[in-house]
Amino acid sequence: MRARLILSDTTQFEGLSLGAMGTSIGEVVFNTAIMGYQEILTDPSYHFQLVAMTYPQIGNYGINPSDFESRRIYAAGFIIREYSPVVSHWQATRSLDEYLKYYDVVGISDIDTRQLTRHLRDHGAQMGMITTSDEPFEVLLERLKSGKQLVGRDLAEEVTTDENYDWPMDKESKHDRQPGFRVAVFDFGVKFSILRALYQHGCRLRVFPAHTPAGEVLEWNPDGIFLSNGPGDPEPVAYAVDTVRVLLGKKPIFGICLGHQILGLALGAKTTKLKFGHHGANHPVKYLPEAAVEITSQNHGFIVDADSLPRDEVEITHINLNDGTLEGFRHKTLPAFSVQYHPESAPGPRDSRYLFENFIREMKQFNA
């Protein structure tokens, strides 16, 4: 079946339907990773986005039970150049097409993703629609332009957990071990791989909904606070910013992605939207304290404005070597630090796993 990708600036691409039939609307972004489509599709940070993969062939290793980042697909739609119907992986349990259909996710293949990527680089990320409908172009375009927008919308509340839970949830996974640091995780769209990384570093985790007041979290008496990744614009998540202001100085705080932006806002900084965002597994970042370069996994459309940080209180620790944007900072006197990128990778390199060790060290020093 034929499918169409329509952008809000009236650009149109025609291709073949992939996954479910129907219509899906979201912000169109491109990801430069050559693998990891399963992790990308299930990352809650991609909620309300149509993800285009720049790698030309997708689907050859199918879907397996080990690489999920959540319990379902969060991407609003999927855009690829060529779909591989032949699955070749010893862990695969189903094909990509079957997986998209199971979760009723609309996709499109057989379009020129290089042309699409160049268009988004030149004109910026924008709202788009994937559809198998044969309705007139003008009707679909009007529906797209009159639909929900990303900026100003609180997407974190749409993906956060409904209630507290301990990680891992499977009791059989809680093998005997020495009690570790108690870490309260604010779920703005947390990835399983982040929870795994904290757990592997010996942390006992309790995950809290995004709206949880500071007092309720402190009643659990955690040794540290983790602010998770998540989708969309950080400014509408003002309730979390207020909560973090209360928690600053009371417990060590570590933030990633949206959590980094929320910490920045809590410290008085401002956030801005990037032209086309950073989405991929090959972004070079410089760690300023050691003059070291890390290759990082990234997924964000907004950043903390470095010039808006209170420089008498905050030290910049990481910068992006592609465009010079802020990638990390730490407070000079309080135990609080964050990075914009994803040290847990999944998919991507593991150059930055030391940040989890830094968090452990902060908790040791604070609780000594």
Domain residues of the chain, as ranges?
2-146, 156-366
Structure tokens at 97: 């097409």
Q: What is the rounded distance in angstroms from the CA atom of residue 39 to the CA atom of residue 303?
A: 22
* Cβ–Cβ under 8 Å, residues 83 and 59: yes
Per residue in 92-126, pLDDT tens? 999 999 999 999 999 999 999 999 999 999 999 99
**Sign of the alpha-carbon torsion through 278, 358, 269, 69:** positive
* Cβ–Cβ under 8 Å, residues 358 and 343: no
Per residue in 263-320, pLDDT tens? 999 999 999 999 999 999 999 999 999 999 999 999 999 999 999 999 999 999 999 9
Residues noted as catalytic:
257, 342, 344
Q: What does 18-84 look like in DSSP terms, one character per residue?
A: EEB-SEEEEEEEEE--SS-HHHHHH-GGGBTEEEEE-SSEE-TT-B-TT--SSSS--BSEEE-SEE-
Check pLDDT > 90 for residue 356: yes
Structure tokens at 200: 């592997």
Check pLDDT > 80 for residue 5: yes
The residue among 297, 240, 235, 244 whose CA lies nearest residue 271 is: 235
Average pLDDT over residues 36-60: 98
Which residue in the block uniquely carries the two structure tokens 């070597």? 321
Check pLDDT > 50 for residue 172: no
* CATH no. for 156-366: 3.40.50.880
Check pLDDT > 70 for residue 350: yes
Higher pLDDT, 147 or 164: 164
Coil, helix or strand at residue 208: strand
Check pLDDT > 70 for residue 179: no
* Cβ–Cβ under 8 Å, residues 136 and 31: no
Q: Percent of the chain at pLDDT above 70?
A: 97
- Number of Cβ atoms within 10 Å of the Cβ of 253: 27
Distances, alpha carbon 55 to alpha carbons 29, 33, 42, in Å: 14, 7, 18
Q: In this predicted structure, what is the pLDDT of residue 230?
A: 98
Check pLDDT > 50 for residue 226: yes
Per residue in 240-252, pLDDT tens? 999 999 999 999 9
Q: Which residues contact 234 (CB under 8 A, 6 or more apart)?
A: 241, 258, 261, 262, 265, 271, 302
Q: In this predicted structure, what is the pLDDT of residue 171?
A: 55
Check pLDDT > 90 for residue 175: no
Q: In this predicted structure, what is the pLDDT of residue 34?
A: 95
Q: In this predicted structure, what is the pLDDT of residue 367?
A: 86
Name the class of domain 2-146: alpha beta
